[in-house]
């Protein structure tokens, strides 16, 4: 056996291991979407939720980044969702944003928050009036209250408030300006009643999003755009692996020549 023969073995095996690892990350499926904005500290803002660069940043009542150990404003603490973690239009057919996520364990190999916190997903809408539009969201939060299906609860100011009064605590306004419990504000004009930092995201719901009621979507995991991670400071450590940058083998493509090489290696091994 020549040294080149053994190098071919190592490279081929490395390629197929990398290919299998990427396949484990690149899951996809169908999902329902909902909306929320409760001002609570995002679930993925706590330490230890996933293998990430750092947790999602949360903010104090003056919208300044706060310590990851700070308690949530929804339970008497001083940490809230930062106002810039709201959706925005990139163009007429693409938006960026953030979401509370639940993905069924059959897709994540049993993983829960550790599998999706700070991961990004492209949602291609499959129901009117959003067919032909997509949004890329980062999983900054979780959506545990519905576990029977894949779900992305889009973080939209004024989109769906709760009775915790965290938004009133954060901004020093009446909770009523955020609309009705479980539905939020009812018109674009109502967005003007929200605190100024939240108005653009509220208007996005009625403009780009066309005030859609829980549209369905097909989703797939994608590498997070830097414009999104700049707002959360959270990057999953497996994003490089997903992008094919973990090793030189991951930059290969499964061409006929690679497959032939791998087949030849196996035949060679069997003949030893």
Which listed residue (38, 200, 238, 239) is catalytic?
Answer: 38
Give the Cα separation of 215 and 130 in Å (integer). Answer: 8
Contacts of 75 (CB under 8 A, 6+ apart): none
Is-catalytic flag, 38? yes
Q: Taking the alpha carbons of 235, 236, 237, 238 in that order, is the dihedral positive or negative?
A: negative
- For the chain, list the strands marked E by DSSP: 28-36, 88-89, 94-102, 120-125, 134-142, 151-155, 216-222
Q: What are the residues facing 32 on neighbouring strands?
A: 151, 216
Q: How far is CA 241 from CA 10, 53, 76, 107, 238, in A?
A: 19, 14, 39, 18, 5
Cis peptide before 129 (omega within 30 of 0): yes
Strands (DSSP E) found in 117-189 = 120-125, 134-142, 151-155
Cα gap 155→173, rounded to integer Å: 20
Q: Please give the C-alpha separations between residue 169 and each of 7, 100, 165, 172, in angstroms, as whole numbers.
A: 62, 21, 6, 5
Rounded Cα–Cα distance for residues 61 and 233 (Å):
19
Catalytic residues: 38
């Amino acid at each position: 056996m020549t040294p080149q023969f053994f190098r071919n073995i190592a490279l081929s095996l490395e390629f197929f291991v990398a290919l299998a690892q990427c396949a484990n990350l690149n899951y996809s499926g169908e999902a329902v979407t909902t909306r929320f904005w409760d001002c609570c500290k995002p679930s993925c803002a706590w330490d230890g939720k996933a293998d990430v660069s750092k947790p999602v940043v949360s903010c104090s009542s003056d919208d300044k980044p706060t310590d990851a150990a700070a308690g949530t404003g929804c339970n008497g603490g001083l940490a809230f969702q930062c106002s810039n973690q709201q959706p925005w239009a990139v163009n007429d057919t693409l938006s960026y944003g953030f979401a509370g996520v639940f993905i069924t364990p059959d897709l994540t190999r049993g993983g829960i928050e550790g599998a999706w916190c700070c991961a990004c997903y492209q949602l291609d809408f499959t129901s009117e009036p959003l067919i032909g539009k997509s949004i890329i969201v980062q999983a900054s939060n979780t959506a545990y209250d519905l576990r029977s299906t894949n779900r992305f609860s889009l973080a939209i100011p004024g989109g769906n408030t709760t009775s915790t009064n965290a938004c009133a605590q954060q901004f020093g306004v009446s909770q009523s300006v955020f609309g009705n419990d479980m539905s939020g504000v009812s018109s674009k004009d109502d967005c003007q009643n929200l605190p100024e930092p939240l108005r653009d995201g509220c208007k996005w719901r009625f403009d780009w999003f066309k005030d859609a009621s829980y549209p369905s979507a097909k989703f797939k995991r994608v590498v997070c755009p830097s414009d999104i991670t700049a707002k959360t400071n959270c990057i999953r450590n497996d994003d490089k692996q997903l992008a094919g940058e973990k090793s030189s083998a991951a930059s290969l493509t499964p061409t006929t020549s690679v497959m032939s090489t791998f087949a030849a290696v196996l035949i060679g091994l069997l003949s030893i």
